[in-house]
């Protein structure tokens, strides 16, 4: 029995990187992807089926089912969640993957793609990820989404059209608008440093939303503010003291602000900009989440 468990664990480790890749594409969160992989291991270790013909395929579908359940639960939680649901970039260093695997991951999982995947329904996302990215047959995916293979094929086709259109549009817009967005970030920081209420209102959308994730330190920033006046008032209060430490940066490939420190950033703000106005500010001060961001000054 001990020998069987050791063999089972060895075989699972051979598939771990693949399973993590599947789960990350489904969940856009390194931590949640790891949870899904661990759940797959628990189900394998408790399985009474001693003759799994295709262990890799079996584990892939198990991870797919676990991720599908997590996505559905996440949709329910979002009704009560205040913070940002920004997709996390893959943590290749922690994965321990070789250079070849890291290159494939970087090429196939751009943040623009992950943002578009977030707009799909859980069933569409599962069908697209498993079939288009990992070549799982529709016959194997169909039971996971409670559909016939033909209907599952339609799910993937619909998702494919949305992904192709969405990623191309986002990539083109991001490249064209980045210099202008950088100007907006610079103007926001200048107004914050000066404590200039009117200048802040001018650069904020009237319906701007400010969200913060402070982890276990809720006193650091309000969880939610809406409207240019409220966001500007808060920035005027805190800005002159903290804005001098901030600098513009690319955060996960988009416009943002960081508070740099030798051991890593103390804070990150991801800004959503439309035209010449900021429509959303997602501030992250939780050290556990800060490690998930990729920043470039």
The CATH number given to whatever domain includes residue 283 is 3.10.450.50
Could you say which of 103, 138, 169 is where a domain stops? 169
Q: pLDDT above 90 covers what percent of the chain?
A: 35
Question: Full-prediction pTM beyond 0.85?
Answer: no
Give the pLDDT confidence score for residue 102 in this predicted structure: 38
Number of domains making up the chain: 2
**Do residues 19 and 151 share a domain?**
yes
Same domain? For 267 and 287 the reply is yes
Check whether residue 158 and residue 94 sit in a common domain: yes
Residue 152 sits in the same domain as residue 179: no
**Residues 163 and 195 placed together within one structural domain of the fold:** no
Residues 153, 12, single domain; the answer is yes
Contacts 24+ apart (CB under 8 A), 149-156: 152/127, 153/127, 155/123, 155/124, 155/127, 155/128, 156/124, 156/127, 156/128, 156/131, 156/132
Structural domain containing residue 232: 175-296
Is the pLDDT assigned to residue 221 strictly greater than 80?
A: yes
Query: Which pLDDT value is given to residue 108?
Result: 40
| Residues constituting the chain | 297
- pLDDT, mean over the chain: 79
| Per-residue confidence (pLDDT) for residue 49, from 0 to 100 | 62
Nearest-5° Cα angle at 282, 281 to 287: 145
Of 137, 169, 201, the domain-final residue: 169
- 92 and 182: one domain? no
Could you tell me if 179 and 81 lie in one domain?
no
Same domain, 164 and 209: no
pLDDT over 70 percentage in the chain: 77
Last-in-domain residue among 135, 169, 203: 169
Residue predicted with more confidence, 176 or 163? 163
Same domain, 182 and 136: no
CA distances from 123 to 55, 72, 76, 173 (A): 23, 9, 15, 28
Same domain, 165 and 40: yes
163 and 197 part of one domain: no
Taking only the tens place, the pLDDT of each residue in 137-168 is 999 999 999 999 999 999 999 998 888 776 55
């Amino acid at each position: 029995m001990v020998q069987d468990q050791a063999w089972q664990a060895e075989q699972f480790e051979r598939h771990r990187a693949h399973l993590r890749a599947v789960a990350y594409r489904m969940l856009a969160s390194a931590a949640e992807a790891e949870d899904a992989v661990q759940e797959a291991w628990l189900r394998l270790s408790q399985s009474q089926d001693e003759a799994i013909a295709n262990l890799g395929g079996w584990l892939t579908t198990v991870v797919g089912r676990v991720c599908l359940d997590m996505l559905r639960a996440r949709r329910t939680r979002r009704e009560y969640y205040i913070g940002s649901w920004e997709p996390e970039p893959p943590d290749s260093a922690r994965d321990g993957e070789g250079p070849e695997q890291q290159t494939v991951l970087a090429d196939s999982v751009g943040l623009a793609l992950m943002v578009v995947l977030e707009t799909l329904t859980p069933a569409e996302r599962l069908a697209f990820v498993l079939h288009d990215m990992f070549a799982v047959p529709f016959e194997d995916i169909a039971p996971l989404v409670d559909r016939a293979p033909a209907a599952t094929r339609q799910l993937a086709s619909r998702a494919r059209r949305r992904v192709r259109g969405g990623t191309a549009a986002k990539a083109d817009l991001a490249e064209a608008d980045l210099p202008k967005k950088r100007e907006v970030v610079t103007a926001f920081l200048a107004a914050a440093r000066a404590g200039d209420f009117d200048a802040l209102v001018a650069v904020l959308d009237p319906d701007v939303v400010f969200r913060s994730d402070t982890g276990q330190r809720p006193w650091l920033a309000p969880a939610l503010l809406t409207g240019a006046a409220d966001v500007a008032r808060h920035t005027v209060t805190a800005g002159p003291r903290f804005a001098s430490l901030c600098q513009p940066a690319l955060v996960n490939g988009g416009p943002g602000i960081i508070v740099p420190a030798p051991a890593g950033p103390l804070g990150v703000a991801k800004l959503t900009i439309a035209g010449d106005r900021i429509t959303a500010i997602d501030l992250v001060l939780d050290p556990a989440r800060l490690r998930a961001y990729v920043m470039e000054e």
